[in-house]
Chain A
Amino acid sequence: MSSPFARLIVPALLPIVLILAWWYTSEGGSSIFFPPLSQIQERFQELWLFALVPEHVVPSLQSILWGLWISIVLGVGLGVLLGLNGYVATAVNPVLQFLRYLPAVALLPLAIQLIGIGQEMRVTIIVLGALWPILLNTIDGVRGISPGLIDVARSNRLRNFDWIFRVVIPSASPQIFAGIRASLAVSVILMFASELLGASRGIGYFILEAQRQFSLPEMWSGMILLGIIGYALNVVLMAIEYFALAWHRKARI
């Protein structure tokens, strides 16, 4: 079973079958909600390769990447601070748990009220959702640092800078990456939701407009694009993680 055939072809079979099934069942279908896949594909090529990319894809990606980046910087920074000060971390834990399980979309009306409906609002709302998984995972990772490494660092009198950037953060990086992965998913959702409620550009806005105008092939092409973008971002992140954490994977074998 571990032949290249099994490893590559078998997993690809089901998607192919599903797409073909979609293609043929939708072809003669009568439901206006499920337009023929061929039509969606045509529309997809017209719109997204690459006519509307600057107008709608770029702003959406910008929101996600800015939001995620700010979340990483804040989350890792605060996480290290709190993780190294265990008492403070324990004290603020209830607040952090609350914020983590508060659906960030629920904060959208609030963000709109306070900031308006610009790009800053969308980045802010993404940070408000994506920060917590990174922050909490960083705290966990930092608190889980092995006492042996703490002794090594102290007896070698490492500078604080080296201690944090060369020992603490790398040691917590497996958890940090797990947090970033969760945050990426949250970011995509919040980008979309915030564009539904307040935007004049972006993939979410495009999908909503298409829906309002009952242009179903356009709407579907947008949804598929969003699915692909979400998956692609995930793959990119996993690739980064794969290289950054090579030591972690190999050190365990």
Chain B
Amino acid sequence: MVAVLLVIWQITASVGQLGAVPTPVEVARALLAIFASGAVWEPLGTTLAGWAISLVLAVVVGIVVGFPLGTSRLAYRLSVFTLDFLRTIPALVLVPLVVLLYGSGLESTILLAFLGAVWAVIMQTIYGARDVDPTALQTFMSFRVRRWDTVKFLLVPTALPYIATGVRLAAAICVLVTISAQVVIPAGGLGEQILTAQLGGAVPSMYAYIFLCGALGVGANAAFGKLEGRALAWHPSHRKVSA
């Protein structure tokens, strides 16, 4: 099917039906060219670095903030509305401010992607921590299991699948925000390359970079989807997906 679509694209584009759209062969050639010339490595590295750092930050901060909010009912009630509000604000809105504060470099995209993704992890961690079976908790308490052991043997195993979902969502959001920020700021990486290629009239390489961005998104989601699947496999609990 993919092949069929490609063939259709090739034919219509080469007949000139699509205006300024290049044929897939041209795009593939451009893709090869940017790899062959090595032009791709630096932007790809920038994008991957921005993505990885923001993801790690989002996951760590998300879990650290989410756990206490999920285990205390009062804290949950206090924060639920605020969290709900904050997570609907798109991180990209902060672009103009972040650019003023941190310029158009890696820090800016990391900060934006972190701010975009951290909510998903916080929310999923909260869901996970709140999902602890009250009976199990009472059992643990009646046996006077130590606090730390309760966390280790009850809280973490219950919350892990939810957190895994949060990490997958965060990984996808980080790709999205990192690349988006790189386009609009522009702040280096694959995102800026798309813009540069367009401005320089290098249409096939623009498509090649767009393709890479898509591949990155699909790849991140697939990889972390696998991870999530594993976390769910040994813990057959139902999950709530929020985003």
Contacts and interface: CB of A to CB of B under 8 A. Distances in A.
A105 B198 contact: no
Interface residues of A, number: 50
10 contacts: A6-B77, A15-B81, A98-B215, A99-B214, A102-B210, A103-B175, A103-B180, A110-B207, A189-B92, A196-B95
A76 B90 CA distance: 25
Given A12-B81, A102-B218, A103-B175, 9 more contacts: A14-B81, A102-B217, A106-B194, A114-B19, A192-B93, A193-B183, A196-B184, A207-B93, A227-B88
Interface residues of B, number: 54
Contacts of A236: none
B12 to A, nearest CB: 14
Contacts of B195: 109
Given A15-B82, A227-B93, A230-B88, A103 B217 contact: yes
Interface in B76-104: 77-82, 85, 88-90, 92-97, 99-101
B132 interface: no
Contact of B78 (A11, A102, A112): A11
Contacts, number: 146
A131 interface: no
Contacts of A10: 74, 77-78
Interface string B186-215: 000011001101110001001101100111
A251 interface: no
Contact of B206 (A103, A109, A210): A109
A175 to B, nearest CB: 12
- DSSP majority for the B interface? helix
B89 A230 contact: yes
Contact of A103 (B77, B99, B203, B213): B213
B2 interface: yes
A117 to B, nearest CB: 12
Interface of B: 1-2, 5, 19-21, 73-74, 77-82, 85, 88-90, 92-97, 99-101, 172, 175-176, 179-180, 183-184, 190-191, 194-195, 197-199, 203, 206-207, 209-210, 213-215, 217-218, 220-221, 243
Contact of B198 (A98, A112, A234): A112
A220 B100 CA distance: 12
A137 B97 CA distance: 35
A112 B77 CA distance: 45
Nearest to A226: B93
Contacts of B215: 98
Nearest to A223: B93
Interface string A9-44: 011111100100000000000000100000000000
Contacts of A107: 210
B2 A101 contact: no
Given A1-B73, A10-B78, A109-B194, A189 B214 contact: no
Contacts of B210: 102, 106-107, 110
A67 to B, nearest CB: 14
A14 B79 contact: yes
Contacts of A210: 96
Contacts of B73: 1
Given A10-B77, A189-B180, A94 B93 contact: no
A248 B19 CA distance: 47
Nearest to B85: A231
Contacts of A103: 175-176, 179-180, 213-214, 217
Given A101-B217, A103-B217, A33 B88 contact: no
B194 A231 contact: no
B130 to A, nearest CB: 14
B184 A95 contact: no
B97 to A, nearest CB: 7
